[in-house]
Structure formats: C-alpha cells, structure tokens
Amino acid sequence: MSKVIRGVKNVTKGYSSVQVKVRNATSNDPWGPTGTEMSEISQMTFNNSTDFYEIMDMLDKRLNDKGKNWRHVLKSLKVLDYCLHEGSELVVTWARNNIFIVKTLREFQHIDEDGRDVGQNVRISAKELTSLIQDEERLRKERLDRKSWKSRVTGIEEY
Amino acid sequence: PTTRHVDMSKSESDLAINIRKATNIEETAPKRKHVRSCIVYTWDHKSSQSFWAGMKVQPILADEVQTFKALITIHKVLQEGHPITLREAQANVNWLESLTRGISGDGMRGYGQLIREYIYFLLAKLAFHRQHPEFNGTFEYEEYISLKTINDPNEGYETISDLMTLQDQIDTFQKLVFSHFRSGANNECRISSLVGLVQESYGIYKFITSMLRAMHTTTGEDDALEPLRSRYNAQHYRLVKFYYECSNLRYLTSLITVPKLPQDPPNLLSEDDERPAL
C-alpha cells in the first residue's frame, strides 16, 4: 500500500529519477535499503552537481524526519554510510560540513505504538557514523579497503 | 560549496514552535526532537540570536517545570549548538541570572533548589568559556588534540584548575538532582537534566587526564603538580560514583552510554599515554 502511495507522490510532486531512487531506498518499508540501491545511489554522486545535490538534499530531508518516520532516518544513515565509502569525495566534504546533523541524532528518541524503543538503532548508527566522520584517517583507510565495513551496510535486513 | 539547502524563511517560525514545545508545562524530559531542532537552527544560521529571543518570550517563569525544562534546553544548545552560541550566550548572562528571582523557596513541585543550582552551574560554565574560548560546549577531546595550553605550563595549570572547579560544580548539581528524586513518581524530567551533566563531566575528565599527563611529561615537575594530582584523584572517585548511580537509571542508559571508569584513577606519572577509553 505505502508503495503505491509513494509511487503516486513521486509523480505528483515531480520528483526526478535520482530523487525517486533515494526516496525508495529510504522508505518506510520494513526492509532495505538493498545493496543494489545503495550502490546505485553512491555511483550517482559522481554524476554532476545537480544529481549530487538532489541526493544529499533528499538524504538531509530524511535525516531530519520526525520520530514516526524513524525508518527514514535509520535508512538514510545507512545510505550516507555507504556513500561515504563508495561515493564521490564531495560526500565526505558534505558530511564534515554538516556533521551536526548526524551528531545530534545520537540521542534520537522514538517509542512506537507497541512500546518498542525503535530509536535505539538510530542512536547506535548515528554514534558509529559520527566517529567515522570525525576520524579522517579511518575513513581514508576504509574508502581504500572496503571489506571492513561492508558487513555493516550491505544485505537486506528487517527493521 | 557542499552546504545544506535550508529554507530560511520557514525555519524562524518553526524555531518558535520548537522552543515552545521543548519548554511546555508537562513534567517530562524536553522532547529531543524539539531540542535538536533548536541546535540544528544555530548551525544553519550560524547564529543563536533567534534562539535566545525566542526563549525570552516564553512564559517560562510561570511554572517551575517550564523553567527547569528551559534550563535543560539551554544547556543542550550551549553544548551542541554552533560555537557562536557560547559567545552570544554571554550577552544573556543577566537574563539567566534573573530567572533565580522568579522562584521562591522549594516551589510547589520541588524544583526551586534545582533551578537555582542549575542556573548557578550554567553561569559558571559560561564564565569558563569566556575565559577559555578555545573549548567547545562539550569539551570534546578529539577536536582539540593539539591544544596550545600545554606549551605554557602556567596557563595549563590555570586551565586545569578552572576545569576542575567546573567539574566540582557538576558534581554538586548532580548530587542535588539525585537527592530530589521522588519515590513512586516518574522522575524523567529530573533525570533528563543528568544527560548533559554526564556528557560534560566525561569530556572534562578526558581533557584533564590527557592535559595533566602531557604536563607531567613536558615539565617533569612532579612536585609542583602534586596539588592537581590529588584533586584529580578525588574527582576520579566522585565520578566513578556518579556514573555508577547513573547506570542504574534505565531511562538514562537507554539514551546515552554512561562511561565506565576504572575503580582507581590512572597513573598520571606513567609514560604510556593511553587515553581513557571512550
């Protein structure tokens, strides 16, 4: 159902194909983002500045979404993590300039209708990503050697 | 270059709503999403002027819970906001101080003393930052690894003393918070004031540890540094106790990782410059 609505929204709001990709990868579906989706998005960060900004602005919007949409936030952290490793150097610069966006998510809170603390995954991801962005040497190394982080960001998981 | 695209016109009115909701009358923690929005605002606009202005038009003195929540919010924005926030806060010191006059005695719901002590601490924090503008709001070690102070031992000594005084004030305040818990009640609002205190005390602790180590190595004046060492040891034991008590508060541990210090203080004279783990 949500997939249909998202499809309609994508058309009526006039989202570009790049924006649609990011929206789908960071949706409220209880699975994903898939490795393929993240890989495609990170490749698109090399395209041109329009595509780059469309990706980052959409991720930014998702990262600042409300508690109810905690999956948007969590998945955007994953996509950002992936792009920091495989995407263009501009992603690294963007993340450094805007680190407060990720940093302030380390205390993200949301309890769902069943009383589950779904904010915890966001807090953990934000903590890991913050220390990665702050550790230039480690990020350099991981951008060269991509195996060490793959287990963290690839694969289809259920949330 | 690679900056965010922010809708400047909309965010001003959003900020007012966020401040109002963060400081509402409900006896809970200030909602993180609203506090976060205030923090993000200062980064986007590289200014905290609207935050202060927005805070001042709130009727926060009308109710002690509102006053207390406002102080928690201000503390968080000072810690995590754009660095300019600490500078701009200096112009609001008198207003902050005036808030003590709004509450008499212990208050209906027992926040009176807590409010006075919180303001006292925030004023001390702002005084510290006025003296030492090189520190950020949470005293994060990583970002200031090459602090110049250790090059001048006298200045370093001063700075460490001042940091220790601030650490003592955190300790006094946290003890007061614990002593004001009410049995059978939800203490979330009181507990949420501990979040910023845990983070700040740990930042200060890590800083003092590495600065004292560096001073011992560079000056070799172990005797001259003895007063700082004994004060450091005493603070270490108090912090261990503080973190232990925090680790029993489920609301707190679900939100942040409470640091675990070794039972005994690390040896500052030792050559190995192993940092306390994060």
Tell if the CB–CB gap between B33 and A109 is shorter than 8 Å: yes
CB atoms within 10 A of CB B121: 23
pLDDT tens for residues B66-86? 999 999 999 999 999 999 999
- B84: which 2 tokens? 């300019």
How much is the pLDDT for B277? 45
Q: Residue A100 pLDDT > 70, yes or no?
A: yes
> Would you place residue A107 in the very low, low, confident or very high pLDDT band (cuts 50, 70, 90)?
very high
Minimum Cα–Cα distance from B278: chain A residue = A131
| CA distances (Å), origin A95, targets A56, A80, A134, B3, B274 | 10, 8, 10, 9, 29
Residue B103: half-sphere exposure toward Cβ, Cα within 13 Å = 27
Q: Is B249 near chain A, with CB under 8 Å?
A: no
CB atoms within 10 A of CB A1: 5
How much is the pLDDT for B278? 40
Q: Which residues pair with B234 in a beta bridge?
A: none
- B247: which 2 tokens? 């680790």
CB atoms within 10 A of CB B72: 22
How much is the pLDDT for B270? 57
ipTM reported for the complex, 2 dp: 0.83
In chain B, residues 29-88 whose CB comes closer than 8 Å to chain A: 31-33, 36, 39-40, 43, 80, 82
pLDDT tens for residues B185-206? 789 999 999 999 999 999 999 9
Tell if the CB–CB gap between A134 and B142 is shorter than 8 Å: yes
Tell if the CB–CB gap between A64 and B256 is shorter than 8 Å: no
Measured in degrees and rounded to the nearest 5, phi and psi for residue A117 equal -85, 85
- Closest by CA to A84, choosing from A120, A125, A30, is A125
Q: Residue A78 pLDDT > 90, yes or no?
A: yes
| CA distances (Å), origin A14, targets A19, A26, A54, A56 | 10, 18, 13, 17
3-state secondary structure of A158: strand
Measured in degrees and rounded to the nearest 5, phi and psi for residue A37 equal -60, -45
Measured in degrees and rounded to the nearest 5, phi and psi for residue A111 equal -110, 125
What residues of chain A lie within 8 A of the CB of B31, using their CB? 109
How much is the pLDDT for B103? 77
Burial of A148 (0-12, 13-18, 19+ CB in 10 A): exposed
pTM: 0.89
B-interface mutation test, from A50, A99, A100, most B Cβ less than 10 A away:
A100
A-interface mutation test, from B4, B38, B76, B251, most A Cβ less than 10 A away:
B4
Query: Which of the 8 DSSP states describes residue A46?
Result: T
Tell if the CB–CB gap between A57 and B4 is shorter than 8 Å: yes
How much is the pLDDT for A149? 63
Say what percent of chain A tops pLDDT 70: 90
- Distance to chain A for B80, nearest Cα, Å: 8
Residues belonging to chain B? 278
Look-up: residue for tokens 């940092």?
B275
How does DSSP assign A58-86, residue by residue? Answer: HHHHHHT--GGGHHHHHHHHHHHHHHHHH
Nearest-angstrom CA–CA distance, B90 and B209: 28
- B220: which 2 tokens? 């070799």
Q: Give the orientation angle of helix A49-63 with respect to helix A70-86, to 10 degrees.
A: 140
- B211: which 2 tokens? 């600065």
* Among candidates A94, A100, A109 on the partner chain, residue whose Cβ is nearest the Cβ of B43: A100
Nearest-angstrom CA–CA distance, B5 and B15: 17
Q: Is A57 near chain B, with CB under 8 Å?
A: yes
